[in-house]
Structure 1
Amino acid sequence: MHFELPLTLKSANISISLKNLAQVLVKIWTVAWPLAFPGGVVVFKWWNHRPSYGFAARIRAWFDRIGDYFRPHYAIYRSRREEDSYWRTAERGRRTLQASNANIIPEEVPLVRYFAPKLPPLYRDVKEEDPEAREYHLSPRVYCKWHRMVFRGPLHPTLKEAPEQIRLYSSRDRREIYRISRLATDEEVFRKKAPWTTRYATMWKRWLDAKGPDMAIVFQ
């Protein structure tokens, strides 16, 4: 006589519940497997590198000693030709680096002479150029424009008279004249679209007070 269990796998409801549970477990594993994977890696590494004791440890140490006995302690070339090729390549590299080698140890000294690169040149150091070393050329039109900006009144040099007056100024003065002339446009100066102001005259006066004396070279 067989008794039927109150709950069997033939029940449709239980089958659906188990199927849903399996799907949920698969989804959880799909999402959470990266979290479990590092732990598995740690366990695997510990298992491979775990300390051995007893007979297994002695067998492993014995095989390691046999391997060290047959394993060469230095690398050799397969042929004399390969070794000569290596030394030729090394010599070419040494000659290439010799031009930039800062190692000053003599060859007769029994030391390993390592390559020491030379320091780069001091091209980053900016040398101050003497403003009077080269003559600064100023165009007559720029000079006439500057003269109208600095000096007030109707008396101003013409383009023909400007070269004679430019010779009376040093190279430093000519650079300052050019700088001041760039502060206003030609229309404002020549066409008098802007009223005259003491701003540029004050700039020129401050320049004369701050620049110091000019050096004059007289040939006799």
Structure 2
Amino acid sequence: MRGYFLPGVFLAVATGVLVFGGDWLGLELEHVALLGAALGGAAGVVPDRQPWERAAGLLAGSVLAWLGYALRAAWLPDTSAGRGVAAMLVVLACLLIAFLTSGRLPLWSFLIGAAAVVGSYEVAYTAAPPEFVETSPTALTTVLLAAAFGFLATVFLGNTIEEERARERGRYSSDDEPDAVGPEPEPEPDGETVRGPFWERALR
């Protein structure tokens, strides 16, 4: 656990810098800094696939979610049915690309990227759907910037966590082993009928 302290401090400081720096630069990062940093940090810390593959999945999921909003703004009605169709198409697109890459880009990283965009942009889109072209690029780039900070803060923890889990599995498996070997079963007398389920009789 001590190995998590420094990356965790860096992630906390990076989140604070995003908020203050975004306000200074006029990027409006206040409402997405923690969301993006947390989701990017989750993608960085999971020891599944190479870091670039996780990052590519997160980025692709974000773009697919943005395309879902574009679909809603251009063709789908602003109703529960329209929102449901858009959400279904985004998830299916994530699943399809993960399948076509044979899991090299993990599905969970697509879903994290999509969740980052939805969490940062849904309220703004609902307030003014016709302004999608003006508001969506800012929402997409700001949450991805926050996610990049979180990803870089935790990406080097993946191998450490994997090694710790391997040691835990080895310790638990050794604890489960019996301390002493029990007595061997007595041989069955010759000539007696072997009783038991038919599959046991067939294997004797």
- State which structure, 1 or 2, has the greater radius of gyration over its C-alpha atoms: 1
TM-score, scaled relative to structure 1: 0.21
Q: Greater helix percent: which structure?
A: 2
